[in-house]
Amino acid sequence: MSYQIVIQPSGHVIQVEPGETILDAALREGFSLPYGCRNGSCGVCKGKIIQGKVDYGRYNEETLSKEDIEAGDALFCSASPLSDLIIECHEISAIKDIEIKTLPCRVEKLELVAPDVMVIFLKLPANQRLQFLAGQYIDILLKDGKRRSFSIANAPQDDEFLQLHARNYPGGVFTEHVFTTMKVKDMLRFRGPLGSFFLRDTPGNGPIIFLASGTGFAPIKSILEYVFFQERTRENKRKMILYWGARTKADLYLTDLPEQWQREHDNFTYVPVLSEPLESDHWEGGTGLVHQAVMRDFDDLSAYQVYACGTPLMVKAAYHDFTTQCGLPKDAFFSDVFTPSTSNA
Ligand SMILES: Cc1cc2nc3c(=O)[nH]c(=O)nc-3n(C[C@H](O)[C@H](O)[C@H](O)COP(=O)(O)OP(=O)(O)OC[C@H]3O[C@@H](n4cnc5c(N)ncnc54)[C@H](O)[C@@H]3O)c2cc1C
Ligand code: FES
């Protein structure tokens, strides 16, 4: 049986087919709700059930607690309606008109940029281009129906190749293949662009903090390169600071890039932070957890937007500490959480 959902505050109405989640139905009908992992782990799709009943589906209980459910929250990527519903969430207009495609692609180049980070360059068929917003990701479709999410690291204006930054997860179905057997000219298939991690406009042209851990740098690289491109003729540029955290110096890769951006753009600052620097690193930069480095530099984030990407622990701690201790408005925090894909196979 299909159900009807009214999305508040927009008043948009969608029909949900049997077995569909709220998010799938909304995306199918062209309404863009925020989402990230689509497997009940990251919490980006959390919204309110104002009226009606849902099956909450499969989700991580740390992401949706009993208290959240009692307060009316649900994860729209996992929840399916059991009646007509009224839900509340913030719709995003910018991605609505971008077509999500399934495309073949060819591995053009593989570049090992850190002991466990491979940059993969993918070439699309000659007559195809992928339209995407800087910060979005694609799902690599594996032969057995599994999918693995990777952020697009190149900016949309620089789309000769799609660039992915893949970290090697020991035992990882896809990444172990990337690091051991993948070759130039191998064919892959992917679906995208996906996700809602992209730059929002702010009326006051306010400052931005980007927070990355490990390969969380990938979508932030795309966003920054896009902003630099857009702003090349603009006088009034937004102040942007990138805090990039890794364990040791060897884990920070392609660092020439942010260093070059800092030299070329007065409005950009780069702060690398190591959590476990080696003696041989001779590290004189920031140490500790990357979000705590931000808090050492700023006690008031009320005028900022924060874009955080990387490990679930980092993103969760940053959201919690920035919104409770530094006055960051909850709706000024945007994130993509690199959750393992294994739970959605
Ligand atoms: C929206 C989104 C964007 C992403 N973008 C990127 C990206 O740009 N670069 C990137 O390197 N990763 C990214 N990821 C994470 C990546 O999709 C997963 O790490 C994926 O599971 C790796 O696939 P695999 O087949 O190698 O490992 P799997 O077969 O899925 O997992 C193998 C083992 O490794 C562990 N594992 C896998 N991934 C992780 C993880 N992220 N953290 C901790 N343990 C893990 C699993 O628990 C499992 O034990 C993204 C995830 C999401 C949801
Ligand atoms: S929990 Fe729903 S998109 Fe991540």
pLDDT the model gives residue 342: 60
Residue 304 and residue 242 in one domain: yes
In a shared domain, residues 79 and 164:
no
- SS3 at position 151: strand
Instruction: List the end-to-end C-alpha distance of the chain, in Å, as a whole number.
Output: 27
> Does residue 44 have its Cβ closer than 6 Å to ligand 2?
yes
Low-confidence ranges of the chain (pLDDT < 50): 343-345
The pLDDT value recorded for residue 95 is 77
Query: What is the 172 CA–ligand 2 centroid distance (Å)?
Result: 21
Q: Report the pLDDT value the prediction gives residue 55, as an integer from 0 to 100.
A: 96
Task: Determine the pLDDT at residue 214.
Answer: 97
- Tell which residue, 183, 179, 151, has the closest CA to residue 309: 151
Short-list 249, 251, 267, 157, CA closest to 209: 267
Residue type, 215: T
pLDDT value at residue 198? 92
Q: Is 341 in the pocket of ligand 2 (CB under 6 A)?
A: no
pLDDT for res 308 = 98
Are residues 105 and 56 part of one domain?
no
Domain that holds residue 83: 3-88
The single residue listed with the structure tokens 């995306």 is 27
Ligand nearest 64 Cα, by number?
A: 2
Residue 176 maps to which CATH number?
2.40.30.10
pLDDT on residue 345: 44
**Strand 208-213, strand 85-88: pairing:** unpaired
Q: Determine the residue of 22, 77, 343 to mutate for testing ligand 2's pocket, defined as the one with the most ligand atoms within 8 A of the Cβ atom.
A: 77
- The answer to whether position 96 is within a domain reads no
Nearest atom in ligand 1 to 218's CA: 8
Instruction: Tell me the C-alpha distance between 284 and 291, whole Å.
Output: 18
pLDDT in the model for residue 203: 65
Ligand 1 contacts (CB < 6 A) are: 36-37, 137, 148-151, 165-167, 169, 171-175, 195, 215, 218, 336, 338-342
DSSP string, 55-77: E--S--TTTS-HHHHHTTEEETT
Q: Are residues 189 and 247 in the same domain?
A: no
Please report the pLDDT score of residue 174 as a whole number.
95
Alpha-carbon Rg for the chain, nearest whole angstrom, is 20
Same domain (yes/no): 327, 237: yes
Is 281 a domain residue? yes
How many domains, the chain?
A: 3
Q: How far is the CA of 58 from the centre of ligand 2 (A)?
A: 11
Residue 73 in domain? yes
Q: Residue 62 class from Cβ within 10 Å (0-12 exposed, 13-18 middle, 19+ buried)?
A: exposed
pLDDT at 212: 98
Q: Does the C-beta of 40 come closer than 6 Å to ligand 2?
A: yes
Q: Which stretches of 125-255 are DSSP H helices? A: 173-180, 217-230
